[in-house]
Structure 1
Amino acid sequence: MTESRRAILLAVLLGNMGTLHFLVPRPFDKLIPAALPGTARTWTYASGLAELGTALLIAIPRTRRLGGLLAALLFVAVFPGNVKMALDAKANPGRAIAIARLPLQWPLVRWALRVRDHA
């Protein structure tokens, strides 16, 4: 796969997730730690905007380097929400899935940094 295709695939992933923050916000609201100021929905929308903006930066070759860096930072920033989801999961299958997702965040960080490095 070419580096350009890797970048576009990451942009599509982020764009889809960002869109879901607006179309189906409730599951994302549950990921927001209570310690953050403001409402969970505000954070859900803000993170959706961050994902959409980052997707756009990655999709444009001229801004791809910045987009890759911001995507890596975004993946690190949402990690506490993924931990919260794993801790809050009540059902065993749900908890197992949430816990299994945690180490998958780091390949996303590496992918974003690769996009940055090859821009």
Structure 2
Amino acid sequence: MKTTTGKSIARIILGTGLIIAGIGHLTFARKEFQAQVPDWIPLKKDDTVIYSGLVEIAMGTALVFAPKKYRPAVGILAASLFVAVFPGNISQYVNKRDGFGLDTDQKRLMRLFFQPVLIFWAIKSTQQKRLKAL
């Protein structure tokens, strides 16, 4: 399999996952996502979940459908989204909030290690050329 084909498959899977997660924010997993909203966010938890769901749908759609020349920028934006929501994952761990089957400290802690994978995935699946060291 060609590298570009592998990257395209990875990008589309990630984008589709974001679209499904975003739909979940708005429908079937709304309460689960509320467990990840830190208390210091100045909005109602449900509003935060709705807004972040809309962003995830838009980001997922961009990952799947963006023209090739815009994909590196979209990848950086997607990685930035994963960085931006990371405090929610930390909050879920620190405050021992159950959600998505993360009902033990060990499971919530392991979830934290998945975030860097998503960041790497977003960048690597959208990168056009190999980055050269400075």
- When the two structures are superposed, what TM-score results if normalisation uses the length of structure 2? 0.80
* AA aligned opposite 2:126: R
Give the conservation status (yes or no) of the 8 Å contact 2:76–2:122. Answer: yes
Match of 2:7 in 1: 3
Q: How many residues align?
A: 119
User: Per-residue displacement from partner, 1:44-98 (whole Å, max 9, x unpaired)?
Assistant: 0111111100001111141433321111001101111001111122789522101
Match of 1:118 in 2: 128
Q: Distance in 1 between matches of 2:60 and 2:121?
A: 13
Match of 1:36 in 2: 41
Unpaired runs of 5+ residues, structure 2, are: 130-134
Q: Which structure 2 residues correspond to residues 12-91 of structure 1 after superposition, within 5 A?
A: 12-23=16-27, 24-62=29-67, 63-89=70-96
Q: Distance in 2 between matches of 1:45 and 1:90?
A: 19
Aligned residue for 1:31, secondary structure, equals coil
Give the conservation status (yes or no) of the 8 Å contact 2:93–2:108. Answer: yes
4+ residue segments displaced more than 4 Å: 90-93
Q: Which has the higher helix share?
A: 1
Q: Percent identity?
A: 28
* Bigger CA radius of gyration: 2
Question: Quick one: higher RCO (CA 8 Å, sep 6+), 1 or 2?
Answer: 2
Aligned residue for 1:80, secondary structure, equals helix
